[in-house]
Amino acid sequence: MHFPFSIRRTSALLLPLLLAACSVPTEPRTTADAPAGKPAPVWPAPPAEPRIRWIGQIANPADLDIQVPFLSRVGNFLTGGDRGREQLVRPFGVGVDETGNLCVTDPGAGAVCYYDRARHQYRRWTKAGTVPFDTPVAVAKRSGLIYVADSGRQEVVALDEQGRVQWRITEESDRPSGLALDGDRLYVACSNTHVVRVYDLQGHALSQFGGRGVEPGKFNFPTHISTDGRGNIYVTDAMNSRVQVFTRDGGYVRTIGSLGDGSGHFSRPKGIAVDSQGRIYVGDALFDNVQIFDHDGRFLLDFGAAGSQRGEFWLPAGLAITPDGRIYVADSYNRRLQVFQYLAAP
């Protein structure tokens, strides 16, 4: 059989893509842009025993060796497009699920990204159903559902792993800014109304706590929220320059930090996460670092500084930590996530 020349040529061009489609990496990785032979930064600096090590950065799916779907690669090849290779523009929210899959909100691109480690796949959505995202700022994921807070649209939307909308929560003037899951509850930090709203996992309202003020249990623009799996809720109270800890029912427990420029103090606390050992990590947008506290709120150490090199930040925002201690930090204006590892004591 003889094909027209254009078909023969197209077939020849597609052959390398077909072969490449059969090769899938066995384990995603993060890229390390270190010069050859230069050790990765650690904190605290030598000669102290290191506790945090920089291990890489993520600026696009290629940095995770994520397999771009075959048809997307064919389309890119024929059209010169870049689907599956999109550069992060201003990553802000970060979430990991129970198996370590990674979700990122990118309000600079109006997009939500999902990196499926088990299947080595990448998905990116700029719409929730037919409605474009405006300012997606926070994300959480569990059991196949991805929860996204869009402060511009003043709503929380739940998507499945294919991007299909399952439900929406819309509260006028709330500007949701942070999300966290604990058991059968979804916690939403709402900046405009200075409260944390509590929902079940079908989006039905249960309760709320907070209100504007400086007293314990009150907020002045809460921005991020996290849980520790032990029934504690952690809220960054940005303009009060502190973190507040609550029970899962909204009862005030304690305050961590206060306004100041020394260790254990904050200026503009942003992202917050808690690791499997109960250590609390808080990013500060003005100090351009991440501080670590023990379960009782005692300062342990910090890492990072202002800049664009390895381990440096330009407005750190969302944080997320995997069960094995891998720490993801959204380095917003450096257009990347940075990845660190907590090192166990020898």
Per-residue pLDDT of the chain in tens (346 residues, 90 and over written 9): 443 433 334 344 333 333 333 333 333 344 444 455 689 999 999 999 999 999 999 999 888 877 566 666 565 455 444 455 589 999 999 999 999 999 999 999 999 999 998 888 899 999 999 999 999 999 999 999 999 999 999 999 999 999 999 999 987 768 999 999 999 999 999 999 999 999 999 999 999 999 999 999 999 999 999 999 899 999 999 999 999 999 999 999 999 999 999 999 999 999 999 999 999 999 999 999 999 999 999 999 999 999 999 999 999 999 999 988 999 999 999 999 999 999 986 5
Four-residue CA torsion sign, 124, 128, 132, 134: negative
CA distances from 63 to 117, 176, 200, 258, 339 (A): 12, 30, 35, 37, 11
pLDDT of residue 14: 35
pLDDT of residue 139: 98
pLDDT of residue 317: 97
pLDDT of residue 47: 94
pLDDT of residue 64: 82
Contact 270, 316 (CB under 8 A): yes
**Side chain identity at residue 76, one-letter code:** N
pLDDT of residue 9: 41
Instruction: Give the whole-angstrom CA distance, residue 203 versus residue 87.
Output: 32
pLDDT of residue 247: 98
pLDDT of residue 19: 32
pLDDT of residue 57: 97
pLDDT of residue 118: 80
pLDDT of residue 278: 96
Q: Is the pTM of this model over 0.85?
A: yes
Of the candidates 61, 69, 62, the residue with the CA atom closest to the CA atom of residue 115: 61
| 308-310-314-319 Cα dihedral, nearest 10 degrees | 160
pLDDT of residue 321: 97
Q: Is 235 exposed, middle or buried (0-12, 13-18, 19+ CB in 10 A)?
A: buried
pLDDT of residue 74: 60
